[in-house]
Chain A
Amino acid sequence: MKFVVGGQIEKEKIAESIRTLAGDKATSVVVMNDIEAAMALKSGTVDYYLGACNTGGGGALAMAIAIAGMDRCVTVGMPGKILSDEEIIAHVKGGKSAFGFTGQDIDVVVPVIIAAIYS
């Protein structure tokens, strides 16, 4: 699986988190600016997009929604609300490939997303 980190903030932290969690199973984890990352997802050069911003849906997913399409994107964590593990797993299984969340949710949601992708 190939991952791209887009979004606006905490990109290195997210990339590091994916590398640690997915280990050898991730063929590549790259950090790009959000526009290039969204284009990489649309063109299929990467399989999954993860991004953070202060609201989980703004800078994190705006370009992914505009370029790759709304139906591939989901906000799994926003201020005051994080989706339950079951909901996140259902979104991954349902074919979502771009995930947005806030910086403070990284440690909570990224492990669930990665586990769901490889289960």
Chain B
Amino acid sequence: MVQEFLMRLIEVDPVKAGLLAAIGAISAMMANRGIAVFHDGLRPLIPEHLEGRMSRKALAATSFALSFGLIIGFGIPFSLTAPIILVHSLLLGTDVIGVWCSNSKKGFVLSGIIGAFYAVALLTGLKSVVELFAMLPVNFMSNLSKVGDPIVVCFSLFPAVVVGYQYGYRKGIWVLIATLIGYLATQSIGTLSFGGFIEKPVKLDPNGSALLIAMIAMFYFAMKQRPPENTGSDQKGANEMLVGLFSSRIARIQKNKWLLVLSGGLTAVAATMSFSLLAEGPVSLQLMAQGEQNGALLVALARAISFVPLVGTTAIATGVYSPDGMKFVFVAGLATNNPWIAFIAGCVIMLMEIMLLAKIAIWLDKYPGVKACGDHIRTAITRMLEISLLVGGMIASNAILPGMGFMVVAGIYLLNKTSKRPLVEMAIGPIATILVGILANIIYIMGLG
């Protein structure tokens, strides 16, 4: 057993394993010192502990409770559908490891070692599970990837949904129509050869162009929304008040910037298409798996913008940052394909985020529509994922186990709503499909099929 595991370690590309181990070690060490944690809900608890209102034990127990369900029910299933690790499975784990290790020099070193080991174990563990699945008599791995099929087309719809949430159904429909026209137009143009002037025709990606048009429309509406005119007094914006209240905590983040900068640079390298080790979210993960770099880049960009208010305000109020910052480092990785350029770009982005933290927050006060838009982007992407992964899960399950596949997925989805320990709704598609794959093998082995 141990020997088998060690053999797998040798099989894994040492550069990739080393990179992931470094990210795991640094993240766990930053969590140990309360410099950065990935879970937005753990961040406000860190100062409670540092300032003596919460014991290390209670903090550790809470961090485990917050993260465990997400790793098992969200991070791992998505990572299994494509050979790319959803960053949540790695960094929620390093949060827990860092907080569990004691608040001492020994704990600091230990958290780094365990964090590195966890990262490598995650990589080899996922690889082992995928290989194990591939060895079963009924091989469902090729069908499992069908779970992501609807996402590859549906992802360009989310700006229309965001505008619908924020400015009503009617405007949402207009953006939807613009998205569809953009899609059709690029599809009909197909490739641009500029009348034969260039040798290699430029192939236009209809989904990417449709998304780009829709995102421009979405941010146009969001930027147009300005705060109400000052009612006489020189009233401060909410974020400016926040910056004023917590200036010492901003200084704490800036004091710890170098570890964060390093972590940002390394993450950007892991997020390049050529490495394809880490993905920032389920949508860009699926797009990366299907080789859709432009789509993945745009979705990562929209998500990063949507995280600016959330990560920014929680960081300012707590003095604790995120090992990936506002997630722009993933955009840097996808935009550049060269690991060295990605590393430099990731470092620079992280440094800028940290140094401009207060400025960004105060600037956001001027654009309340952008903050609201950020909230809506996350809601809309979740909704889009719920529906497209449910349909994808049904298609994939039915391909594995015709007839019954539909029933199992719908059954799990509906019964989950009655559970007191419900699965994350958008993870039901992948989880149910994996279960159907295992069920298909049981049926085959028992000779019922």
Shortest distance between the CB of B48 and any CB in chain A (Å): 5
Q: Given the known A-B contacts A58-B41, A65-B45, are A35 and B422 also in contact in the complex, defined by CB atoms under 8 Å?
A: no
Determine whether B292 belongs to the interface, using a CB cutoff of 8 Å to chain A: no
Contact in complex: B420, A8 (CB < 8 Å): no
Binding site for A on B (CB under 8 A): 39-45, 47-48, 53-54, 65-66, 68-70, 72-74, 238-239, 241-242, 245-246, 310, 313-314, 317-318, 368, 371-372, 375, 378-379, 382, 420-425
Q: Which residues from chain B contact A63 at a C-beta distance below 8 Å?
A: 44, 313-314, 317
Interface of A, secondary structure class, is mixed
A11 to B372 Cα, complex, angstroms: 10
Contact in complex: B39, A58 (CB < 8 Å): yes
Q: Given the known A-B contacts A8-B378, A9-B375, A9-B379, are A104 and B422 also in contact in the complex, defined by CB atoms under 8 Å?
A: yes
Contact in complex: A80, B69 (CB < 8 Å): yes
Q: Which residues from chain B contact A58 at a C-beta distance below 8 Å?
A: 39-43, 310, 314
Contact in complex: A80, B39 (CB < 8 Å): no
Interface of B, secondary structure class, is helix
Contact in complex: A33, B65 (CB < 8 Å): no
A79 to B382 Cα, complex, angstroms: 13
Chain B proximity mask over A1-30: 1 for CB below 8 Å, otherwise 0: 000000011110000000000000000000
- Range for the number of chain A residues in contact with chain B: 35 or more
Contact in complex: A9, B378 (CB < 8 Å): yes
A105 to B42 Cα, complex, angstroms: 19
Q: Which residues from chain A contact B41 at a C-beta distance below 8 Å?
A: 53, 55-58, 60-62, 75, 78, 100
A–B complex contacts, Cβ < 8 Å, 29 sampled: A35-B242, A35-B313, A53-B40, A53-B41, A55-B41, A55-B66, A57-B40, A58-B39, A58-B43, A58-B314, A62-B40, A62-B317, A63-B314, A63-B317, A65-B45, A66-B246, A67-B245, A70-B48, A79-B70, A79-B73, A79-B74, A80-B422, A80-B423, A80-B424, A82-B420, A82-B421, A82-B422, A104-B425, A105-B422
Interface-centre pick from B40, B45, B47 (highest chain A CB count, 10 A): B40
A13 to B115 Cα, complex, angstroms: 39
Contact in complex: B48, A10 (CB < 8 Å): no
Contact in complex: B43, A62 (CB < 8 Å): yes
Q: Which residues from chain B contact A103 at a C-beta distance below 8 Å?
A: 379, 382
Q: Which residues from chain B contact A67 at a C-beta distance below 8 Å?
A: 245, 317
Chain B proximity mask over A28-72: 1 for CB below 8 Å, otherwise 0: 000001111001000000000000011111111111011100100
A110 to B422 Cα, complex, angstroms: 16
Q: Which residues from chain A contact B39 at a C-beta distance below 8 Å?
A: 55, 57-58
Shortest distance between the CB of B238 and any CB in chain A (Å): 4
Q: Given the known A-B contacts A35-B241, A80-B423, are A66 and B379 also in contact in the complex, defined by CB atoms under 8 Å?
A: no
Contact in complex: A34, B53 (CB < 8 Å): no
Contact in complex: A55, B44 (CB < 8 Å): no
Q: Which residues from chain B contact A70 at a C-beta distance below 8 Å?
A: 44-45, 48, 53-54
Q: Which residues from chain A contact B368 at a C-beta distance below 8 Å?
A: 33
A10 to B425 Cα, complex, angstroms: 15
A67 to B316 Cα, complex, angstroms: 12
Shortest distance between the CB of A86 and any CB in chain B (Å): 12
* Contact for A81 among B65, B74, B246, B318, CB less than 8 A: B65
Q: Which residues from chain A contact B42 at a C-beta distance below 8 Å?
A: 57-58
* Contact for B68 among A9, A33, A39, A80, CB less than 8 A: A80
Q: Which residues from chain B contact A62 at a C-beta distance below 8 Å?
A: 40-41, 43-44, 313-314, 317-318
Shortest distance between the CB of B53 and any CB in chain A (Å): 6
Contact in complex: A59, B69 (CB < 8 Å): no
Q: Which residues from chain B contact A61 at a C-beta distance below 8 Å?
A: 41, 44
Interface-centre pick from B41, B44, B245, B368 (highest chain A CB count, 10 A): B41
